[in-house]
Structure 1
């Protein structure tokens, strides 16, 4: 009988501790401070630039449009890559067809880079003069560091990186 009482007390203790854990770590996600701020990579820029409420509203609109455009482009790229790699099972390869698909992929990647550029330009346009200087610094740091604090690995073949051998004809 004493063993059962001890097990019940231990069970109640564990339940209370679990409820406490769940409430404190999972239940606090809707703080008023975090609810109004964007999530993801843009949150760093918002925090650093200290956007006001009007700038935040405009940024949210920009981000929604940008996200939809990027998703559309990503879907196009995925479909084109699927079409390209479906050609692996073809008995005879048509080089012109492969070149056409890879050219279309390159156009979509270019479109994606242009979209990202203009998105950052639109964010910069939201900034006041002081924020613009800070934004320029953030973008330059990201471009020069590549988003990493580590240095690029040394390449043994004269800095060209690894390239696959040319196709055989």
Structure 2
């Protein structure tokens, strides 16, 4: 009788753990949630025409970024698939690393161009807001740990 109760409790525990695991797999917790595409247009208070231009820019930008990310992922798969078996020569390793570096550079350039194109559809007031948003996003850490802006108040 005690063995049956123990087995039932163990079975219940395993079922709960499987449910938790399934939830975590379906939810994919290690993927960052991307803010909605309207986030920037809402912050900058775009007009209808600006929002339409922004959405076209955004779709084009994300297509490019997906392409770069897919190429980078393929190169990483090639690189790490050779970990356990055949060895890559130094030339092959250098070539893969160089291609991956070029793709990282292309990614950063695409992000810069994206924000430059957003800036082009902004009016003067929106350009100032965009500049604050971008400079805030570039500073690492929580806002309290950041140094004051140039000409700002000294730290306390």
- TM above 0.5, yes or no, is yes
Equivalent in the alignment of 2:153: none
Q: In the alignment, which of 36, 42, 50 is matched to residue 55 of structure 1?
A: 50
Q: In the alignment, which of 123, 134, 143 is matched to residue 128 of structure 1?
A: 123
Under a length normalisation based on structure 1, what TM-score does the superposition of the two structures give? Answer: 0.61
Q: In structure 2, how many angstroms separate the alpha carbons of the residues matched to 1:47 and 1:107? A: 33
Higher mean Cα deviation, 94-103 or 61-70?
Answer: 94-103
Equivalent in the alignment of 1:95: 90
Q: In structure 2, how many angstroms separate the alpha carbons of the residues matched to 1:128 and 1:145? A: 28
Q: Structure 1 residues 76, 93: CA separation in 2 closer, same or farther (over 3 Å shift)?
A: closer
Q: RMSD of aligned C-alpha atoms?
A: 2.0
Q: In structure 2, how many angstroms separate the alpha carbons of the residues matched to 1:139 and 1:53? A: 22
Q: Structure 1 residues 143, 42: CA separation in 2 closer, same or farther (over 3 Å shift)?
A: farther
Equivalent in the alignment of 2:80: 85
Q: C-alpha deviations, 1:86-129, integer Å up to 9, x for none?
A: 11123444111111101101100110000010000000101001
Under a length normalisation based on structure 2, what TM-score does the superposition of the two structures give? Answer: 0.66
Q: In structure 2, how many angstroms separate the alpha carbons of the residues matched to 1:94 and 1:72? A: 27
Structure 1's unaligned 5+ residue stretches are 1-38, 153-169
Q: In structure 2, how many angstroms separate the alpha carbons of the residues matched to 1:77 and 1:61? A: 25
Structure 2's unaligned 5+ residue stretches are 1-33, 147-156
Q: In structure 1, how many angstroms separate the alpha carbons of the residues matched to 2:90 and 2:144? A: 40
Q: Structure 1 residues 134, 121: CA separation in 2 closer, same or farther (over 3 Å shift)?
A: same
Runs of 4+ aligned residues of structure 1 deviating over 4 Å after TM superposition are: none
Query: What is the CA distance between 1:142 and its match in structure 2?
Result: 1.1
Q: In structure 2, how many angstroms separate the alpha carbons of the residues matched to 1:150 and 1:101? A: 40
